[in-house]
Amino acid sequence: MYSYIDNFLIYLKTEKNASPRTIESYQKDLFLGLDFFASLLRKDDHAILPADLDYRIFRRYLAFSQQKGHSRATIARRLAAWRSFYRYLGREGIADENPAARLSTPRLEKRLPRFLYEEEAKLLVEAPDLNSPLGIRDRALLETLYAGGLRINELVSLDQGDLDLGAGYVRVMGKRARERLIPLGRQAVKALINYMKNGRLQLLMNASLKKTNDTAKTDAQKPNNAVFLNRWGERLSGRGIRKIVDKYVKKVSIERKISPHTIRHSFATHLLNAGADLRSVQELLGHASLSSTQIYTHVTGERMKQVYRKAHPRAKE
């Protein structure tokens, strides 16, 4: 079973263009399930075959997860991982049926996405100090996140050829290798031009100082096409971007948990608040289904209620 799982994870990466976090999550969920099945069947986990698992075993797995107090979201995610795995096995001719498909997904509570108010978003993107290369980079990074509503993996993957700053566009490769062009506002374009001319060049110069042996020097001198670099001139990682966002959230004293994805939520919410139509926001976010975008209508609806209750003289009585 482990070899099938390994091939499935490779398939997710190479053919589905899944993010590293998604692949890591699938791997963890599948390995945890395999441990339970091995214990239940009293077999070594390496000896389990896809045909050994049927829907009754998966029902017991879900019941076990509920008894352990796992959230509905966690149980639903684990079931989704096994469904996706068995769909892959079916396409490969390894499994005849998908036993996980016969089970109902636990009903999830609808959670409204966190978002920044417009004043908070402005404070956040303008927080970096533009007197240092890292500050110039951080300003461009935050402006791009907010102006384009990019996913963190999309931001990490940006190369110089993806930018058309003259026209004010960035090309993004999203989920399932779907490409989209996203317009950038004037402030984001200005910040990116400053970064590409100043901050990024300085960070590339730092790359030559990172290593001292000859082999490392050769590696450091290879051309790096990434837009956003770390202090050593290498492609900035998703973890690095999260640290940058955390740094400036703390700096501007926002007392809520804010992530790069929160900035994406803010992008969509602010567009809808300003009158953008749902279909356009769907295209900008790269959602395959309009239903994924509709959650933001609930956010804007709640915002309208708050404004109404605060402003209307008869709403407070």
Residue type, position 154, single letter:
E
The 8-class DSSP code of residue 198 comes to: I
Cα dist. 153→51, 150, 264 in Å?
35, 8, 12
Q: In 10 A of CB 143, how many CB atoms?
A: 22
Residue type, position 163, single letter:
L
Instruction: Quickly list DSSP for 191-253.
Output: HHHHIIIIIHHHHHHHHTTT--SHHHHHHHTS---BSSB-TTSSBPPHHHHHHHHHHHHHHTT
Distance of CA 299 to the CA centre of its chain: 20
Q: Which two tokens stand for residue 191?
A: 């910040």
Interior angle at CA 313, CA 307 and CA 315, nearest 5: 60
The residues assigned a catalytic role are: 151, 175, 261, 264, 287, 296
Residue type, position 3, single letter:
S
Q: Is residue 239 within a helix (H) or strand (E), and if so which, with residue range? A: helix 238-251
Torsion, CA 198, CA 203, CA 207, CA 209, rounded to 10: 90
The 8-class DSSP code of residue 106 comes to: P
Q: Which two tokens stand for residue 2?
A: 């482990």
Nearest to 163 by CA among 137, 193, 200: 193
Strand order through the sheet with 179-183: 163-164, 169-173, 179-183
